[in-house]
Amino acid sequence: MSKNIVVLLLVTFGVTMFSCSESNSPTEEQFPGFSVPKNFPTPTYDLTKNPVTKNGFTLGKKLFYDGILSIDGTIACGTCHIPSSAFTQHGHDLSHGVEDRLTLRNTPSVQNMAWKKFFQWDGGVFDLDLFPINPITAHNEMDETIPNVLEKLRNHKDYPGLFEAAFGSNEINSERFLKALSQFQLMCISANSKYDIVSRAEGATFTTDENAGYVLFKAKCESCHKEPFFTDESFRSNGISPIPGTDDKGRARITLNPNDEYKFIVPSLRNVLETAPYMHDGRFRIIENVLDHYSNGIVDSPQLDPIFKNGTTLGTQLSNEEKRVLIAFLATLTDSNFLNSKLLSE
Amino acid sequence: MKLLYVITFLVLISLFTNACTQKTIVSPTPIEPDSTSTISIKITNFFGSEELILGNEYTNLHNEMLKPEILKYYLSNFSFQKTDGSIVTIPQDSSYFLVDQENNSSRVIVFNNVRIGEYSSIKFLVGVDSLRSVSGIESRKGVLDVGGLGKDMYWGWNSGYVFFMFEGTSPSSTVFLNRIRYHVGGFGGYSSPSMNNLRNIIISHSSPIKLIANKKTYIDIKAQISTIYIGSQDVSIKTYPSIMFVPISSSIATNYSRMFSVESVINE
């Protein structure tokens, strides 16, 4: 009899422990978990409010690649955010939503999200957990509502069990849904490019061209594309003229400040050679077009970033040789571990 | 033996229920039960001289006919000022309400455990304060839940709640299907200043509002929706059939900030 009581005690304690902790999954050791690369600063995202667990990540990953998030089941996050292109949509200038509805902008990459302060080209979202609400509800993206998504997940054969594994009960609500999606995105860390290996002094060295490119990069590009993320997350106009017929005012849509018109966030250059086409509207098909733009394509406007105004010339003149070594350096930002990660791909 | 089981069970249940919660912090000055009372606020939306009913026709002061179909707005951060100048603030977590014309119960707001005494004014916000507007998903429950009651009252592309939503039709509207749409939001911006359409409301009754022990205080508030079209800047349907996140929405917010009045106070 007393043996039974002991068993009861142990079982109940077990349940008690489990109810307080979300990370007691026995296979935890097989999951790398979230960790901060040595050459990265402290994350912006508050991981204490949403610790990344294997089961939370697994749920988030399934959600990320599931069309159930869209109104007709056709569009998943992963439809436009494809891992082998650093979670962009290779070859598409503008992204497409349900029924092939065209959006205003080029798909931004999903990488190193834990360190980002702003989301979207205009920075209209400031919290990773709140970000998915936009693509899910936007008419030209997934055109769905959050309550509908939650209801579909509740009625699904797998999701209630996955939520239970991740959060301790099968309740499916906005907070859990969005935090699971964040857990997957938080794990999309690109920190193993050649550049990273060199900067962490882990054995690799730059070639002569790469090094020349790095020196040039620091002189001409780094004021906006700041290491280690190759962005300072500021909003700037880089002198690309608005395309006739579209009137995407960028940051000014959020601030309503005329000084912010046609400004967009400085994008990260990590994996940049894999994320063509370029700019918020995908107007440049190849990286050479981008360098040509900064060299001799900048159009003046009241909002043009002062950094591009040097006396009578606009932009930063680059010789063909300079462009060649810059591209050699940019190639060192390609992180093939990240692009080919089995953990992250569908 | 049976008794031992029962005791073990009780001990375990108490362990189980206490395991996850911190000890309750006891308020340093416990409130005597008969020193508080309940306030029940009933909000009635009007358009002109009539009570607003969705689907009925009304005329605004620019002589434009309109037929409301949706009317919803957030009220939050309630506090009550006593005649001696002191202020009783409702705990913030219990101070978010979504008044929805389609849902009668949403138009009754009840506060329990408010100190008895004489009150000179009621203060609240139309909208969701900036702090809550930037806070984490875990503090967005109930009417603030984008996957629940708050689902239509949120801009995903420009993180923030729609504070006030008024939709319908009007022959004066030049847009598709003669629709009118007013969505007012904007908490002031997260990192760069942006439009702030939060409006503080302070309203009083002709005489002090008394909270008496063992009696409920019923406060009738009238919300005159027609105010959106006139005031700081007149807004006609002909010129502005549809207003969302644009500067003119601030005029609507300022106009409707005058819409509330205390009609009656009853203690019973």
Query: What is A15-54 written as a DSSP string?
Result: HHHHHH-S---GGGGGS------TTS---SS-TTSS---H
Specify if A1 maps to a domain. Answer: no
Please determine, for residue A228, whether its predicted confidence score (pLDDT) is greater than 60.
yes
Residue A24 has pLDDT above 60, yes or no: no
Beta strands in chain A (DSSP E): 235-236, 264-265, 309-310, 313-314
B169-213 pLDDT, tens per residue? 999 999 999 999 999 999 999 989 999 999 999 999 999 999 999
Of A188, A211, A241, the position where a domain reaches its end is: A188
Give domain status of residue A13, yes or no: no
Q: Are residues A151 and A286 in the same domain?
A: no
Do the domain assignments include residue A6? no
Asked if A240 and A128 sit in the same domain, the reply is no
In a domain, A9, yes or no: no
Q: Is residue A119 part of a domain?
A: yes
| CA-based nearest residue in chain A for residue B145 | A174
B261's enclosing H/E stretch is strand B260-267
Task: Kindly state whether residue A343 falls inside one of the protein's structural domains.
Answer: no
- Residues forming a β-bridge with B41: B109, B219
A24-28, A32-36, A336-340, B31-35: least confidently modelled range: A24-28
- Which residue, A151, A172, A188, sits at the end of a domain? A188
pLDDT at B28 over 60: no
Alpha-helical (H) ranges within chain B are 2-19, 130-133, 249-256
- Regarding whether A166 and A31 lie in a shared domain, the answer is yes
Domain range for residue A274? 194-338
Q: Which of A153, A188, A223 is the last residue of a domain?
A: A188
Q: In angstroms, rounded to a whole number, what is the distance separating the alpha carbons of residues A97 and A69?
A: 12
Which of A:321-340 have CB within 8 Å of B?
none
- pTM comes to 0.88
The CATH number assigned to the domain holding A247 equals 1.10.760.10
The answer to whether residue A10 sits within a structural domain is no
Tally of structural domains, chain A: 2
The ipTM value here is 0.85
- 3-state class of A212 per DSSP? helix
Nearest to A49 among B19, B136, B190 (CB): B136
Question: Is residue A244 located within the same domain as residue A230?
Answer: yes
Q: Are the C-beta atoms of residues B188 and B198 closer than 8 Å to each other?
A: yes
In this structure, are residues B239 and B62 in contact, taking their beta carbons and an 8 Å threshold?
no
8 A C-beta contact, residue A111 and residue A268: yes
- Determine, for residues B191 and A126 on separate chains, whether the beta-carbon distance falls below 8 Å: yes
Number of A to B CB contacts under 8 A, please give it. 104
Pick from B138, B159, B191: CB nearest A49: B138
Same domain for A174 and A239, yes or no, is: no
Residues 262 through 291 of chain A touching chain B, CB cutoff 8 Å: none
Answer whether residue A20 is part of any domain. Answer: no
Partners of A133 on chain B (C-beta within 8 Å) are: 146, 154, 156, 159
Give me the residues paired with residue A284 across strands. A278
Q: What is the pLDDT of residues A287-305, one digit of tens each?
A: 999 999 999 999 999 999 9
d(CA B125, CA B59): 27
CA-nearest of A59, A66, A99 to A81 is A66
Of B268, B239, B256, residue with least CA distance to B37: B268
Same domain membership, residue A30 and residue A96: yes
- DSSP character at residue A71: T
Both A76 and A56 in a single domain?
yes
> Rounded to a whole number, what is the largest CA-CA distance in chain B?
84
Question: How does pLDDT run across B71-120, given as a tens digit for each residue?
Answer: 999 999 999 999 999 999 999 999 999 999 999 999 999 999 999 999 99
CA distances from B253 to B164, B227, B244 (A): 8, 10, 11
Q: Would you kindly state where each structural domain of chain B is located, as residue ranges?
A: 37-267
Task: Find the helix or strand (DSSP H, E) in which A254 lies.
Answer: helix A252-255
What is d(CA A56, CA A28) in angstroms, rounded to the nearest whole number? 11
B3 close contact with A: CB closer than 8 A: no
Same domain as A285, residue A227: yes
Average pLDDT score over residue span A212-223: 97
Q: Do A198 and A320 fall into the same domain?
A: yes
Asked if pLDDT for residue A10 goes beyond 90, the answer is: no
Give burial (CB, 10 Å; 0-12/13-18/19+) of B119.
buried
Question: Looking at the complex, does the CB of residue B132 fall below 8 Å from at least one CB of chain A?
Answer: no
B182 min Cα distance to partner chain A (Å): 17
